[in-house]
Amino acid sequence: MALPVWPLWAQTAPLQVAAATSLQDVMPALVQAFARERKVPPPAVVTGASGALVEALGQRGARAAADVLLCDDAETIARGVERRLLRPDPVRNFASHGLVLVVPAGSRLPVRRLTDLANADVQRIALGRPASVPVGRFARQAIDAARLWPSVQRKVVQADSARDVLRRVLEGEADAAIVFASDAQSAGPALRVVEPLLNHSAIRLTAAVAVAAAQPDLAADFVLFLRSPAATDLMVKAGFGPP
């Protein structure tokens, strides 16, 4: 009796994708779309802060844990390339972030603009850690541009990822927060967007293949897929900007 012939995709191990936490809501749709288009198993996804994900690639025994890395900014990817943890090609910007100041929907604090964070009524402000969390670095740029840091420094509640910033303001651990626009959208009516923040560097989500990738060709294909019309449409619907 002849043995059954399994389809090619069933013989392929899932691609391993490490993604910034701001992408966690849209990743299921992205990996399913990739799997349908390429006829491969849906990639497996882990999420974390962009800086921490790069650091994990450099840990002994963990270098092959991810085939491809998706970060909130191009700078973090560039550091990974410089440390020879990520391949310089292909590296692709596949979406962009907006930055917004938010408060809980039921807040009665008089916060109507960024400069209001200096008011005495505002006691706690959630920000990402600038060294490892891109949303924190860009938030600090916006605060510095408004010359607010001396007035708000003691109020800062540091968070370990973009989603941790969001969690802190949603759970009442902060009176206000600076988050990505996509994260604010995911929170729905629980948050009120005070204003978009513009005085910061352009924020470009970027993807790259790990040097130790077990499936480098498939990983490179996934990076290219992220610039496809289908992927861009999913990103825009989730609150991200175009590349």
- Region 43-68 average pLDDT: 82
CA–CA dist 77, 66 (Å, integer): 14
Three-class DSSP category at 93: strand
Token couple for 195: 């204003």
Q: What is the pLDDT of residues 150-207, one digit of tens each?
A: 999 999 999 999 999 999 999 999 999 999 999 999 999 999 999 999 999 999 999 9
pLDDT at 241 over 90: yes
pLDDT at 6 over 60: no
| Helix ranges (DSSP H) in the chain | 27-38, 50-57, 74-82, 134-145, 149-152, 162-170, 181-187, 216-225, 229-237
> Does the reported pTM lie above 0.95?
no
Q: How does the average pLDDT of the chain come out, rounded?
A: 92
Q: What percent of the chain has pLDDT over 70?
A: 93
- Region 86-113 average pLDDT: 95
Given the structure tokens 């310089």, which residue do they identify?
A: 88
CA–CA dist 4, 239 (Å, integer): 45
Say which DSSP state 112 is in. -
Torsional class of 39: left (φ above 0), alpha (ψ -120 to 50), beta (otherwise)? left
